[in-house]
Structure 1
Amino acid sequence: MTESSDQNRSLSEAQRRAVRQMLRIAPVADELGERFNNAGHDLALVGGSVRDAFLDRLGQDLDFTTSARPDESKRLLSGWADHLWDVGQAYGTIGASKAGFQIEVTTYRSDVYDRASRKPAVTYGDSIEEDLVRRDFTVNAMALKLPSREFVDPHAGLADLGNKIIRTPGTPESSFSDDPLRMMRAARFAAQLGFDVAPEVVKAMRDMADRLDIISAERVRDELTKMILSDRPRTGLTLLVDTGLADRVLPELPALRLEIDEHHRHKDVYEHSLTVLEQAIELEHRLPGGSPDLVARLAALLHDIGKPRTRRFESGGGVSFHHHDVVGAKLARKRLTKLRYPASVVDAVSKLTELHLRFHGYGTGQWTDSAVRRYVRDAGDLLEQLHVLTRSDCTTRNPRKAQALQRSYDDLENRIERLQEEEELAKIRPDLDGNQIMSILGIEPGPLVGKASKHMLEVRMDKGPLSEDDARAELLKWWAEQQES
């Protein structure tokens, strides 16, 4: 079969998928099209909605473009939509919900960035062709006019969809100048869709990487998050690194290319980190909900970013990275904070990075129950993510060593499960509460009570649950030592 026939077959399959999706959304889309048409305005399904219809992955979010100005769109949606919101009106967008669909109607427009501005200057257009040429990529520059269902594809987006390639409607330089974030979007779509990026687009990304500096951290963060949560994050991340965009967004990642893995399992720590990310994704079914987990994926990607700062060449010819877990935790916190990630994400990724080496002290099960309790306590709510990260961090090509590490971690998890059942590890508290401590020691509320409580928690970790008499004896022993010191 020739390449041309393969492409035709791919397009015909895509067209059948699009028809099926259009039939599903027709009651809402056609009705809305009639409403705008009767008022003398054009309306078309556009962008990602059309692309996803051809890919048979159209969800409940529908994007429309129209000749109507925002105030008129708002009037036409009022009384028809179940709910209406206008938070995007300044950018020409009115949002609504109808029959379970989330709808956005945006006036034809052209966004142009000033070289020193972080926000687009919105100007409205007069035709759908003018609107489509300003779209980021050809696969997002297709439209379906409603209610006539006339397909509009001035930039051969359907052909590019069939060929699985990402191109820009105009020149990449012009597109990226209008909105530099589109360079990251190219990498993100490559990761989400499994498409190749056209060579001229890659070249423009490399040549214009510095333009990304005018984009706000929040917009960069959102694109990075979508990429990391995609099915193939390695594809997008590799493109960011190869084009120099990662140097502007996540410089700690390309820095890993210079570091030789101390176990010589990979040509460098960069490749190791991407492999750990992929293996973490394969283990996400272990996590609650089983869906893509941003914290687990970020921790897998960033767990070794402390290695460049801690690399030391040993006299015997080896390389060490002592304390790269602690240094990496600080670097992860700094980078994620700069990218404006929520504090909960920053704290979680930093903690996982700091804990990712802890298991390697377990050996073949030499840890005491006390050490296992501390492992669980220190992980807290992140225990399941720590399990995933630690298992993923095994990338040795030696099957015997890999199996030994897996058996050791299986043993650790079994011990955790047993102790959980016996002692409810997640709810570990000192055997004596604050009131009991004050009564036994005859002291008033204050710092000494907290100090005593902390000591009793350490006793609980070391010895497990104690009877009230034994706990009292431990407290009095500690108190006597305090009086002597």
Structure 2
Amino acid sequence: MPDAPMPPLQLTDVQRSVASELDRIAPVIDELGRRFADAGHELSLVGGPVRDAMLGRHHNDLDLSTSARPEQTERLLKGWAEAIWDMGRAFGTIGCRKGEWQVEITTYRSESYDPSSRKPDVDFGDSLVGDLGRRDFTVNAMAVRVPGREVEDPYGGVVDLAHRVLRTPGRPEDSFSDDPLRMMRAARFAAQLGFTVDESVVAAMTAMADRIEIISAERVRDELVKLVCAPYPRLGLALLVETGLAERVLPELPALALERDEHHRHKDVYEHTLTVLEQAIDLEPRLPGEGPDFVSRFAALMHDVGKPRTRRFVDDGTVTFHHHDVVGAKITRKRMKALRFSNDDIEAVSKLVELHLRFHGYGTGEWTDSAVRRYVRDAGDQLERLHVLTRADCTTRNQRKADRLRRTYDELEERIARLSEEEELASIRPDLDGNQIMQILGIGPGREVGQAYQHLLELRMDLGPMTEEQARDHLLTWWAARG
């Protein structure tokens, strides 16, 4: 996984890629192009689909721009599209579905912004070039007219794409003043595409970082999720830190650059964290499902955020971060709430941060079966992600130590698998249920039933499965001891 930009593309490869993609989507763009042309309107494929076509990336969500007004677009789609929606009508956008394709067609726009708000005043424009000029980056400001397939590239997007560079069509200061979220998008596109960011764009992002504060937490969160789930998140995260944007949206990340890891003094915790993130990504095939796993990646990013608050200097010159796992979980929960993450995501990531050090008490296998059961119970439905995070957290350059840690964790996973097969650890329960407890003790519903249930659960963890008679004897002994 690179932390540096990839080599330039050859223009011949770009041309070949875009021709191949246009042939693939021809059933949509050629038919629509003719319908609009016959009605006297222009229609062009624009933005991300054009950029991705040149990169050889395929998808079935198509963005088009037109001289037609929304009501005219809607009329032209009737009888062709299988479904039509107009939630974006206020912004000039009509959406539709045709077979496997989802299409959004937007009237040429000319926008002005209130400096205190990201929301534009939308005015319809009258030219494709003017519409392209209001887009975020030159690689997104290209178009292909349909059905004729003439490429429109008024701002040099093809050259920038070939050189893998992000620039704005006009002055970056104007672009970011209009829409500060574009600064986050620069980091996100760097992470998604593996591109470098032009120096003038970086300078504007640095000077205008405070402008991000007018953007809603939800929009910042969405860009951050896309960045973290991108192929090269280190590139985007490093840009956020370099420009000062991270101080405003995820201040826990740049704070790590000030800390030293107690086990690897040659590394700061920030670099260690980015390495853990990359190693967690490499381990994602271990997880169920396909594609990027945001929870696993974000837990890797946040796992050491408790270190700045727990740093202590010892007399012998070493540095400790005791309880940074617990403190980090609290910090993570607070940050994710501020960014309006779902409760499920907050709880999952926070649990992983809190548990990421638990394995280090395993030593060379000293845990009893009881301790292994508790490890599984505490991880709950995050056990597979905890396996990934724990393995990714090993960044030592000492190969012998790394191999030893890997073998030890292999052994722990084998013990978990064996116990799970024998005892169904994932759904572990006491050997008596609440009704049986009340019947044996002769009591009704109340606090004592819950206390008895918890006692039997702890016994189940310590002793493993028991017969009903054994569980009954333990319950009565506990009850008698309570008087």
Q: How does 1:78-477 map to 2 (within 5 A)?
A: 78-477=78-477
- Matches of 2:215 and 2:329, distance apart in 1: 26
Q: Name the aligned partner's letter for residue 112 of structure 1.
A: S
- Matches of 1:63 and 1:375, distance apart in 2: 48
| Secondary structure at 2:25 match in 1 | helix
Q: Name the aligned partner's letter for residue 50 of structure 2.
A: V
- Matches of 1:110 and 1:370, distance apart in 2: 66
**C-alpha distance after superposition, 1:222-279 (max 9, x if no partner):** 1111110011100000000000010111000000000011112542100000000000
- Matches of 2:37 and 2:457, distance apart in 1: 71
| Secondary structure at 1:304 match in 2 | coil
| Secondary structure at 2:18 match in 1 | helix
Q: CA deviation at 1:78?
A: 2.2
Structure 1 unmatched runs, 5+ = 1-5
Q: CA deviation at 1:140?
A: 0.5
| Secondary structure at 2:45 match in 1 | strand
Q: CA deviation at 1:127?
A: 0.6
| Secondary structure at 2:262 match in 1 | coil
**C-alpha distance after superposition, 1:419-449 (max 9, x if no partner):** 0100010111110011110110000112211
| Secondary structure at 2:275 match in 1 | helix
In the superposition, relative to structure 1, how do residues 224 and 33 fare at CA in structure 2: closer, same or farther (>3 Å)? same
| Secondary structure at 1:87 match in 2 | coil
Q: CA deviation at 1:50?
A: 0.5
| Secondary structure at 1:395 match in 2 | coil
**C-alpha distance after superposition, 1:182-229 (max 9, x if no partner):** 111111111111111111111111111111111111111111111100
- Matches of 1:121 and 1:376, distance apart in 2: 54
Q: CA deviation at 1:353?
A: 0.3
Q: CA deviation at 1:119?
A: 2.1
CA RMSD of superposed structures (Å): 1.2
Give the TM-score normalised by structure 1. 0.97
Q: CA deviation at 1:38?
A: 1.7
- Matches of 1:266 and 1:121, distance apart in 2: 52
Q: CA deviation at 1:121?
A: 2.1
| Secondary structure at 1:62 match in 2 | strand
Aligned 8 A contact 1:115 1:214 in 2: no
Match of 1:42 in 2: 42
| Secondary structure at 1:32 match in 2 | helix
Structure 2 unmatched runs, 5+ = 1-6
Match of 2:60 in 1: 60
| Secondary structure at 2:10 match in 1 | helix
| Secondary structure at 1:45 match in 2 | strand
Higher relative contact order (CA 8 A, sep 6+): 2
- Matches of 2:248 and 2:47, distance apart in 1: 28
Aligned 8 A contact 1:137 1:168 in 2: yes
Match of 2:4 in 1: none
Matched, 1:14 2:14: yes
Aligned 8 A contact 1:118 1:216 in 2: no
- Matches of 1:110 and 1:330, distance apart in 2: 45
Aligned 8 A contact 2:306 2:331 in 1: yes
- Matches of 1:110 and 1:265, distance apart in 2: 54
- Matches of 1:419 and 1:61, distance apart in 2: 47
- Matches of 1:179 and 1:424, distance apart in 2: 53
Q: Name the aligned partner's letter for residue 439 of structure 1.
A: Q
- Matches of 1:93 and 1:337, distance apart in 2: 32
- Matches of 1:218 and 1:377, distance apart in 2: 33
Q: Name the aligned partner's letter for residue 72 of structure 2.
A: E
| Secondary structure at 2:345 match in 1 | helix
Match of 1:71 in 2: 71
**C-alpha distance after superposition, 1:279-327 (max 9, x if no partner):** 0000000000242100000000000000001111111111111111111
Match of 1:33 in 2: 33
- Matches of 1:322 and 1:126, distance apart in 2: 63
- Matches of 1:68 and 1:331, distance apart in 2: 50
| Secondary structure at 1:439 match in 2 | helix
Aligned 8 A contact 2:117 2:214 in 1: yes
- Matches of 2:424 and 2:190, distance apart in 1: 45
Q: Name the aligned partner's letter for residue 362 of structure 1.
A: Y
**Greater mean alpha carbon deviation, residues 102-111 or residues 236-245:** 102-111
- Matches of 2:29 and 2:458, distance apart in 1: 64
Q: CA deviation at 1:89?
A: 1.5
Q: Name the aligned partner's letter for residue 108 of structure 1.
A: Y
In the superposition, relative to structure 1, how do residues 146 and 373 fare at CA in structure 2: closer, same or farther (>3 Å)? same
Q: CA deviation at 1:113?
A: 2.8
- Matches of 1:296 and 1:43, distance apart in 2: 42
Aligned 8 A contact 2:118 2:180 in 1: no
Aligned 8 A contact 1:356 1:390 in 2: yes
- Matches of 2:465 and 2:441, distance apart in 1: 21
- Matches of 2:325 and 2:242, distance apart in 1: 26
Match of 1:3 in 2: none
- Matches of 1:237 and 1:282, distance apart in 2: 18
- Matches of 1:354 and 1:445, distance apart in 2: 34
**C-alpha distance after superposition, 1:138-181 (max 9, x if no partner):** 11100011122111100111111111111111111111111111
Identity fraction in percent: 67
